[in-house]
Amino acid sequence: MSTHRDAVHAQFDARAAAYLSSNVHSTGPDLRRACELVSGLSPRPTRALDLGCGAGHLSFAMSPQVGSVVALDPSTGMLDQVKAEAARRGLDNIETLSSGAETLPFGDASFDLVATRYSAHHWTDLDAAMAEIRRVLAPGGHLLVIDLEAPADALTDTHLQAIELLRDRSHVRDRSDAEWRALLRGIGIELLGMERWSTRLEFASWIARMHTPVTKAEVIRTMLDEAPIEVRDALRVEADGSFQAFTGLWWGLRSCA
């Protein structure tokens, strides 16, 4: 029997190139907004952590705006991709490190900016990860969270979580806006702003990026085709199985207390 960490490595180590070229991950209004928020900080952040960096798009975006970035991810394949792409772009202030989010190999107050994008839905112990974020984030530092947002409606949420897990066995859970607000409040983060954008997931590339087995892809299509009209409308399901979810962005400040 494999562990969740084994599933993460199996799913992502060999697919880093696909995530580097993915339009969903390499572009988008959330990434542009992240750049705006980070570039607007004064004083300029000295040290930033990209937690669950994946193929490195957030690290690349933050790199010119901060002194240095630690791109951290459990997938060594992803980190190899980040190193190579950072070198190609001439970004010499990005350091890579392999670790999960639940136990961070840094001292207290090591960063004045912690950011994570499209990663938290893979974390097995979100409470532990949030406690670690608070520990390594210096008082007065900023936290940026970007992830797919779970629907507030339970019926739609159940369908979305199910198809996410069928597609990717390392998926744990998307969280709702209400859940994220409570999590941030629980670690002493003052929410400065929340934004969301509709994110179209084109079925063929969404499945291909994760190499989802054909049998599971067929189950996902059946679930979408047979979903109640309320779910199909909420997810804007298209004839080819493509659908729309929401990307949420939460921007906060760690209290000095």
Q: Where are the domains of the chain?
A: 4-150+171-199+246-254
Whether residue 177 contacts residue 226, with contact meaning beta carbons closer than 8 Å, is answered with no
CATH superfamily of domain region 4-150+171-199+246-254: Vaccinia Virus protein VP39 (3.40.50.150)
Whether residue 14 contacts residue 77, with contact meaning beta carbons closer than 8 Å, is answered with yes
Sign of CA dihedral 88, 91, 92, 96: negative
Give the pLDDT of residue 28: 87
Nearest alpha carbon to residue 216 among 241, 236, 238, 245: 241
Whether residue 132 contacts residue 101, with contact meaning beta carbons closer than 8 Å, is answered with yes
Query: How large is the angle between the packed helices 177-186 and 126-136, nearest 10 degrees?
Result: 50
pTM for this prediction: 0.91
CA–CA separation, 58 and 66 (whole Å): 12
Has residue 241 got a pLDDT over 50? yes
For 163-172, write each residue's pLDDT tens digit.
Answer: 999 999 999 9
For 96-123, write each residue's pLDDT tens digit.
Answer: 999 999 999 999 999 999 999 999 999 9
